[in-house]
Structure 1
Amino acid sequence: MSHILQIKDLKVSFQSGKKLLPAIDGISFDLKEGEILGIVGESGSGKSVTSLAAMGLIPSPPGKMEKGQIIFEGKDLRHNTEKEWRKVRGNQISMIFQEPMTSLNPLFTIGNQLMEAIKLHTNLSKREALVRGIELLRLVGIPRAEGILKEYPHQLSGGMRQRIMIAMAMACNPKVLIADEPTTALDVTIQAQILALMKDLNKKTNTSIILITHDLGVVAEICERVIVMYAGQIVEQGDVRTILKNPRHPYTKGLLKSVPELSGKKERLYSIPGTVPMPGTIQHGCRFAPRCSEAFSRCQEEEPKLRKMENDKHEVRCFLYTVKEGSDKHVGVTS
């Protein structure tokens, strides 16, 4: 399976006064054709900045892409002009944002906005664009598609609006779809429908999907691989089953512990103490160390690198594991 998108050693910083603060720092990952990849982490971990960078949407100023590559189908997009980005954006790489009400214009009908998305990137006539619009609405499971085209965003429910956003994102059969928290504002039953829809679209159209979320339940539901981010770095990555069954990084373990159990046996929900540090505040050592119950002296002084585990596809950024002669050995601390 070939890679459609590769992010290599990407660093994005934002100007704050006279300082440049790193929002993401040395991120590298691949997205395969037809794959659903999850990116997980708390607010402030750099998930959304990663997705905006992949779309060429980092506002400059204050944002600055300091180093790295964004390779799409073998071509590095990092130095694209705005005109070149516009050809890629929406056409080959598309994005769904978390709040459809802010992405849809309240003054125009759904039909107007959907037709604009189609005509912007294709040479279809008005009639053909209308037929394509109805086809897209049916693809995302919207009944009475012709009637919906005449309605305004405020007349639709949150779930319907999110389906419209997905239809607009799929207008040009993109090869990569980035979904930034697409189910956050929706109730649980609608959330399940939207996830099933995205899984279905992935099967029907072979579109690769990057799903950005803070919810590990969502990842378990539809993703094949997962990347766990913390304070602008990848702290763990691997296939979903490995990471959910055998998490190695203390942060991933904490995220999994904080998921409520259906049995309801726990008196209180577990939460990781403290908060994600502000960009640039931790100069030495592991960025998770101040919140980690397993930290020891080395964690305060040195920054850990991503290391391969027994399973080659599983990588962890933690000093609890060091790799010597191909076998894992602990550094005096139990996990």
Structure 2
Amino acid sequence: MRKEPILRINDLRVSFQTGKKFLPAVDGVSFELKDGEILGIVGESGSGKSVTSLAMMGLIPSPPGKIEQGDIIFNSRNITHLSEKDWRKIRGNQISMIFQEPMTSLNPLFSIGNQLMEGIRLHTNLSKAEAKVRSIELLKLVGIPRAEGILKEHPHQLSGGMRQRVMIAMAMACNPRVLIADEPTTALDVTIQAQILALMKDLNQKTNTSIILITHDLGVVAEICQRVIVMYAGQIVEQGEVRTILKNPQHPYTKGLLKSVPVLSEKKDRLYSIPGTVPAPGAVKQGCKFAARCAEAFEKCHHESPEIYSSEQDGHEVRCFLHTLKGGIDKHVGATT
């Protein structure tokens, strides 16, 4: 019997108002997160990754944003249009998020201990003394030495890597079922990046917390994720097992992202980059959203929008007309809407 996913997104569409128009930042996104899984979401800036994560946390600012269609199903419950009071019971308690820049997420006026304990006491019945003990446990869990001393310090007194560990500790305070990490290693140097990724993988294994890792770095995805979703201009263009997609990418955009990764064993005068930029929301009126930047685009691509084509063998999905040619390339057959 197939186990129900912990989180399921069905045909999600999130738009933001500009003048009198609503422009789609996320356009028909659907995916599942399995219990205990680490799922990667990759794509350039402006592809809709962060807006998707904010929708999953009930943090779309309204106005100007709104969820126009679709469902967010968490633990078999539809949480798409909960009241703010109900969202507070879920946010930070059952679904937590680590934001990109810890210095702007932590309050500079309060100590680390004060901020950690506030979150714990908000979602649990622990006393102040018990919350302090729990805070020390959490800081030790994320590999911070002299945890008791750190409780008294302020964010500016810590390094970037230490602040990020504090953010992870805060996110893990109530043993969430789902942890969303939005570019958690962007502002860190390579050595600290590796430590943070190892920490997240360790937490996943110890606590069985499902993790959604949002990044633009395919190297990070290869390091710790089991499955990956590739987003472009608000849509999913490819998704499947990490090994399958990294070894045999099917969408021209995924191929371009992989080609952009520098290879240490090769000498090149210039690194490859995908020509052009991600179109603004609502800018592409017809056809495939990647067609203007795609070297493999043909006439149909500029006039019709491709559906998701799914592999019968491994569930590998790709949004590209190339898979309707020659009887279906690489066993991708039939469109699934």
TM range (shorter): over 0.9
Residue identity matched to 2:152: K
Shift of residue 2, structure 1, vs aligned partner: 3.2
**Contact 2:96–2:178, Cα closer than 8 Å, also in 1:** yes
Q: Deviations over 1:121-171 (max 9, x none)?
A: 000011110100000000000000000001010000000000000000000
Unaligned 5+ segments in structure 1 are: 331-335
Secondary structure, aligned partner of 2:46: coil
- 1:122 is matched with 124
Shift of residue 262, structure 1, vs aligned partner: 1.4
Residue identity matched to 1:62: P
Shift of residue 310, structure 1, vs aligned partner: 5.0
Residue identity matched to 2:54: L
Residue identity matched to 1:301: H
2:238 corresponds to 1:236: yes
Secondary structure, aligned partner of 2:41: strand
**Aligned partners of 2:287, 2:108: CA distance in 1, in Å?**
48
2:246 corresponds to 1:208: no
**Aligned partners of 1:199, 1:2: CA distance in 2, in Å?**
23
State which drifts further: 151-160 or 315-324.
315-324
- 1:333 is matched with none
Shift of residue 323, structure 1, vs aligned partner: 8.1
**Aligned partners of 2:37, 2:73: CA distance in 1, in Å?**
16
Q: Deviations over 1:12-70 (max 9, x none)?
A: 00000011100000000000000000000000000000000000000000001000000
**Contact 1:322–1:329, Cα closer than 8 Å, also in 2:** no
**Contact 2:322–2:329, Cα closer than 8 Å, also in 1:** no
- 1:16 is matched with 18
Residue identity matched to 1:142: I
- 1:33 is matched with 35
Unaligned 5+ segments in structure 2 are: 333-337
2:93 corresponds to 1:99: no
- 1:57 is matched with 59
**Aligned partners of 1:174, 1:99: CA distance in 2, in Å?**
21
1:59-208 aligned at under 5 Å gives the runs: 59-208=61-210
Distance 1:254 1:324, change over 3 A: closer
**Aligned partners of 2:35, 2:19: CA distance in 1, in Å?**
41
Shift of residue 311, structure 1, vs aligned partner: 3.0
**Contact 1:323–1:329, Cα closer than 8 Å, also in 2:** no
**Aligned partners of 2:213, 2:310: CA distance in 1, in Å?**
23
Q: Deviations over 1:216-249 (max 9, x none)?
A: 0000000000000000000000000000000000
**Contact 2:93–2:123, Cα closer than 8 Å, also in 1:** yes
Residue identity matched to 2:181: A
Shift of residue 322, structure 1, vs aligned partner: 1.8
**Contact 2:323–2:329, Cα closer than 8 Å, also in 1:** no
Distance 1:18 1:206, change over 3 A: same
Secondary structure, aligned partner of 1:134: helix
**Contact 2:42–2:49, Cα closer than 8 Å, also in 1:** yes
**Aligned partners of 1:4, 1:329: CA distance in 2, in Å?**
29
- 1:255 is matched with 257
TM-score norm. by structure 1 comes to: 0.96
Give the RMSD, CA atoms, in angstroms.
Answer: 1.4
**Aligned partners of 1:323, 1:197: CA distance in 2, in Å?**
44
**Contact 1:105–1:153, Cα closer than 8 Å, also in 2:** yes
**Contact 2:312–2:331, Cα closer than 8 Å, also in 1:** no
- 1:2 is matched with 4
Shift of residue 265, structure 1, vs aligned partner: 1.3
Secondary structure, aligned partner of 2:321: coil
Secondary structure, aligned partner of 1:148: helix
Secondary structure, aligned partner of 2:45: coil
- 1:276 is matched with 278
Residue identity matched to 2:103: M
Secondary structure, aligned partner of 1:234: strand
Q: Deviations over 1:258-298 (max 9, x none)?
A: 00111241221000000000000101100000000000000
Distance 1:160 1:63, change over 3 A: same
Q: 1:225 aligns with which of 227, 235, 245?
A: 227
**Contact 1:322–1:328, Cα closer than 8 Å, also in 2:** no
Shift of residue 324, structure 1, vs aligned partner: 9.0
Moved runs in structure 1, 4+ residues, more than 6 A? Answer: 323-327
2:326 corresponds to 1:293: no
**Contact 1:307–1:323, Cα closer than 8 Å, also in 2:** no
**Contact 1:115–1:133, Cα closer than 8 Å, also in 2:** yes
Q: Deviations over 1:101-134 (max 9, x none)?
A: 0000001100000000111100001111010000
**Contact 1:310–1:328, Cα closer than 8 Å, also in 2:** no
Q: 1:307 aligns with which of 279, 301, 309?
A: 309
